[in-house]
Amino acid sequence: MKHLICFLALFLISGVGSFDLVIDEIPDEVENLIDLEIDGFPSSPKMRNGRYQRSTSDWGYVGDLVEDDDKIGLYSYKVQSTITSRLANTMIQAKMVNNAKRPQHIVFDVQVPKGAFIDNFTMDVNGITFTSQIREKSEARKMYAQAKAKGKAAGIVRSNALDMENFKTEVNVPPGTRIQFELHYHEMIRRKLSSYEHTVSVKPGRLAKHMEVDVRIIEPQGLRYVHVPNSLGDHFDGITTISKGEKKAHVSFKPTMAQQRKCPTCSSTAVDGNFVVQYDVNRETTGGELEIFNGYFIHFFAPENLDPLPKNILFVIDVSGSMWGLKMKQTIEAMKAILSELRAADQFSLIDFNHNVRCWRDNLVSATPSQVEEAKKYIQAIHPNGGTNINEALLRATFILNEAQNLGMLDPNSVSMIVLVSDGDPTVGELKLTTIQKNVKQSIKDEFSLFCLGIGFDVDYDFLQRIATDNRGMAQRIFGNQETSAQMKNFYNQVSTPLLKKIQFNYPQESVSDVTQSSFHNYFGGSEIVVAGKVDTDNLQHLESIVTATAANAELVMETLRDVEELDGFMKKDRYADPEFTRKLWAYLTVNQMLAERNTAPTAALKRNITKSILQMSLDHHIVTPFTAMLIENAEKDEIMLADQPKDPRRGCCPGTLGLTPNAPNNNRGIPPWANITAVPVSFMPEQRSPPVSSLSINRVDNDPHFIIHLPKSQRNICFNINSEPGKILNLVSDPGTGVVVNGQIVGAKRTENKKLNTYFGKIGFYFKNKGLKVEITTETITLKDGPYSITLTWADTGHIIRKQLLISVKRENNVTITVGEEMSFMVLLHRVWKHHPVNVDFLGIYIPPENQFSPETHGLIGQFASEPEVAIHHQTPGQPPEKPQAIMEVKGNKLTVTRGLQKDYRTDRVAGTEVQCWFVHNSGKGFIDGHYRDYLVPHLYSFLKKP
């Protein structure tokens, strides 16, 4: 009879750093433990010492295992991940056998991604299962102490934590023992540099008879691509398989034992590294994607096709003596590359500091090629020495930014940031970290951000995390090695392209609750903002969101509407999708947000309250946080182990989050009252004047272009068609007095029908010369252009663009309304056809109210009727057919034969349309319009009509 001697260690340590291991008086022998057979596993369930022992026949044949000198065989090593809408659930399982003739340690040592939440761990020793539960840390320690007093505790381990996290379990087992370890954790995969990257550690340590990495991706938005880089090395070329569908993908890596070997005769494994899966999703809407399921909603927001905002950036670089050598060399290399990537619209400067603080320039300068080259020369000449005066360096940086703003040197739409690079704690000047944090907070303005890069392990990363989060930025640890330069450039690339600022998410308060952070200082290209909350799906059919933000050349208001049951069918059909993904994502975001808030809590009382909330969330959702511990025990609860993770004072507790934007009262018009619009000042929001719905009071061009001109004085509608060639551009409105142009470009059907090629408007351009704004509307996109800047929405969006008192309102797959102050408005209607139709194509219609305040100089096919001509219609006679009578129309000195008929107004019914009676003028409106229709052809989409 042998006794099992085991202990559990939970290490949260750096992959390259050291750790401290403290084991509190683990007894040499623990009484009343499991009596294990030496010669192998029983093949059927048995009772041993009153305990139920499960069959382990699922292992199958365990022969042919390759053993190292320690005679420990690895039967199988499996990593299984399922990603459901960015929520990755990962299981790592190892089955091992001690084939030695003596007891020895079997180790299960895996890396867990930083920020992941461990939620379960089980251990099966010859059929005896140990399971885990999450308890409040002091309670778990108390339970462990009680068990220890009774001689039933196996051990306790404390460890220091840095950036990378290791989970390590070590069990001393008798000969012949089979043991299975299984760890579960989940994480939210964050988008960086336009890609989601899921990384799992695959370090079995020895050859496995069965090796498998299995990743399944389920993304309701649809998958744009799936890529598996060769992160494990060329040794495994061609082994990974990828199966990709529209919304699902399966990645499999199953090397045979022969493929695992470092060489044909080697007994060691070449599998040692990270297995990486990269992917991105489809995005149809600028307003983001709402996913609603099981009483929670997740809002994914990652707009594209936006011009970058100009940035004002100050690099604050530690050049103290500790930076000497490789760290400084790598920093200089990175900074030279970063400076080369600055845009012409950016402003920048450099500050380097040791015990003194030096400025390359005392103020911000434009990122011209000559200035960038001068800055590179300055960086190259740096020689590290002396102490570290972080406080004065950061205060100098905030002073330069504040002074630039006070002097009006900063573009109102620009983004201002400070990037601190340091490898150690302050040693000169102000040394108290809380005072430095307070000083920076007081001096930096609300619209500035601070980003911190901590190099190596001597830096107080927790301090950098706090000071960055406190000032609307984030921190990242950079390892001081050969990869320092690449890591710095990678971090800079994440924040180098600000696309939006002052982003505010709004939801109806009566329908949602417990919403995570909903105000964000900046949005950077290639990233993603995620907001989650609870939603009352029992009393709600649709959930609406409104996002407001400031772009490079406009204010945006983007609306999204989703059916609360839209995902139900999809989720129920997929057996791999996690039905709890919305709840887990909400909990993940909420706990991380509370951890960040706790870091910057101004009072001890507030910190205690936040700690209580974190603890309750940890227990409710069964996750390990700095305030909980994991108890591992057998079914009879008479053998207990404790996995403890004390908080490391030099480690940030959570991923960086962007600073909150204070809420402001809603004074905007045309927006639901529950939408708290902070990003759009009232002065930017003109009253939206949609063209009137009455079919008798509007000028319109629709279908094959059918023109309907409404004459308010005589209350008549006059119609005519224009049959031009595809590609030609017709002027509809040309008003030099107000500086307004409206032109339409012709598009043809796919082929002729009845010897006639139908033509339509496929593109419409608006030019507001006095504002310097152009709007281009196609059947795919709506684009606002302001000089070199542009912003684009698609017809899949519902939202608003506001710029210089011009409001563009997009109604998803329906229409666009352009409103110019109180003076004029236009509506463009979208007509979709079946994309496989053999003849028809998508096209646009335009509706222009006669009330628009054009000047007397206005002309164009529609604009000329702003001054209504005298029209007389007489001598009406029956036509062929009778319902289409003919008459004589006198207009502009011409007598024309016209036919009474019906045309369509599609504003209220885009499929069937509403019939409108009108008098039809033949021959492309000849005699009713001035001159010939060819006189209205213009060379460009924004050209004014030339006077005859």
Q: Which amino acid is at 539?
A: N
Q: How far is CA 900 from the centre of its chain?
A: 56
Q: Which amino acid is at 103?
A: P
CB neighbours of residue 33 within 10 Å:
20
What is the structure's pLDDT at 586? 97
pLDDT band at 12 (very low <50, low <70, confident <90, very high): very low
Whether 579 and 569 have beta carbons less than 8 Å apart is answered as no
Lowest-confidence range among 308-312, 668-672, 914-918? Answer: 668-672
Looking at the predicted structure, is the pLDDT value of residue 666 above 50? no
Whether 755 and 741 have beta carbons less than 8 Å apart is answered as no
SS3 assignment, position 557: strand
SS3 assignment, position 232: coil
Q: What is the mean pLDDT of residues 862-883?
A: 87
Q: How many residues does the chain have?
A: 948
SS3 assignment, position 584: helix
CA distances, 467 to each of 391, 444, 517, 648 (Å):
11, 11, 19, 17
Q: What is the mean pLDDT of residues 856-884?
A: 88
What is the structure's pLDDT at 212? 97
Looking at the predicted structure, is the pLDDT value of residue 823 above 90? no
Q: What is the mean pLDDT of residues 138-167?
A: 64
Looking at the predicted structure, is the pLDDT value of residue 759 above 80? yes
What is the structure's pLDDT at 241? 97
CA distance 222 to 89: 19
**884-940 tens-digit pLDDT:** 899 999 999 999 999 998 887 887 777 777 888 899 999 999 999 999 999 999 999
Looking at the predicted structure, is the pLDDT value of residue 659 above 80? no
Looking at the predicted structure, is the pLDDT value of residue 670 above 80? no
At a CB cut-off of 8 Å and minimum separation 6, what does 557 contact? 546, 547, 548, 671, 677, 680, 799, 800, 801, 802
Q: What is the mean pLDDT of residues 271-298?
A: 94
Looking at the predicted structure, is the pLDDT value of residue 625 above 50? yes
What is the DSSP code (8-state) at residue 823? T
Residue 614 backbone dihedrals phi, psi, to 5 degrees: -65, -45
At a CB cut-off of 8 Å and minimum separation 6, what does 211 contact? 76, 77, 78, 204, 254, 255, 256, 257, 260, 271
**400-431 tens-digit pLDDT:** 999 999 999 999 889 999 999 998 889 999 99
Whether 123 and 169 have beta carbons less than 8 Å apart is answered as yes
Whether 22 and 158 have beta carbons less than 8 Å apart is answered as yes
CA proximity to 570, closest of 234, 115, 247: 247
Residue with the bigger pLDDT between 588 and 458: it is 588
Looking at the predicted structure, is the pLDDT value of residue 156 above 50? no
Looking at the predicted structure, is the pLDDT value of residue 164 above 60? no
CA distance 515 to 509: 10
Q: What is the mean pLDDT of residues 699-718?
A: 85
What is the structure's pLDDT at 432? 93
Q: Which amino acid is at 861?
A: L
**527-585 tens-digit pLDDT:** 999 999 999 998 899 999 999 999 988 899 999 999 999 999 999 889 999 999 999 99
Looking at the predicted structure, is the pLDDT value of residue 639 above 90? no
Cis peptide leading into residue 308 (ω within 30°): no
What is the structure's pLDDT at 61? 53
CA proximity to 400, closest of 343, 353, 444: 444
- What b/e sequence results for 483-507 when a residue is b if at least 16 CB atoms lie within 10 Å of its CB, and e otherwise? ebbebbbebbbbbbbbbbbbbbbbb
**21-73 tens-digit pLDDT:** 222 332 333 323 323 332 333 333 333 333 333 344 466 555 566 667 788 99
Q: Where are the beta strands (DSSP E) in 723-786?
A: 729-735, 740-748, 759-768, 773-778, 781-786
What is the structure's pLDDT at 59? 62
What is the structure's pLDDT at 419? 97
CB neighbours of residue 738 within 10 Å:
19
CA proximity to 490, closest of 457, 530, 464, 527: 527
pLDDT band at 172 (very low <50, low <70, confident <90, very high): confident
pLDDT band at 95 (very low <50, low <70, confident <90, very high): very high
For the chain, give the longest Cα–Cα distance.
119
CA distance 138 to 714: 87
Is residue 575 left, alpha or beta, with left meaning phi > 0 and alpha meaning psi from -120 to 50?
A: alpha
The DSSP result for 542-607, as a single string, is EEEEEEEEE-SSSEEEEEEEEETTTTHHHHHH-SSS-TTHHHHHHHHHHHHHHHHHHHT-SSHHHH
Q: Which amino acid is at 545?
A: S
Lowest-confidence range among 16-30, 347-361, 698-712? Answer: 16-30
CA proximity to 85, closest of 244, 222, 192, 225: 222
CA distance 732 to 705: 12
Averaged pLDDT of the chain: 84
What is the structure's pLDDT at 671? 45
pLDDT band at 746 (very low <50, low <70, confident <90, very high): very high
CA distance 746 to 216: 46
What is the structure's pLDDT at 530? 98
CA distance 273 to 523: 32
Task: Name the token pair of 670.
Answer: 């045309």
Task: Identify the H or E element spanning 440.
Answer: helix 433-443
pLDDT band at 105 (very low <50, low <70, confident <90, very high): confident
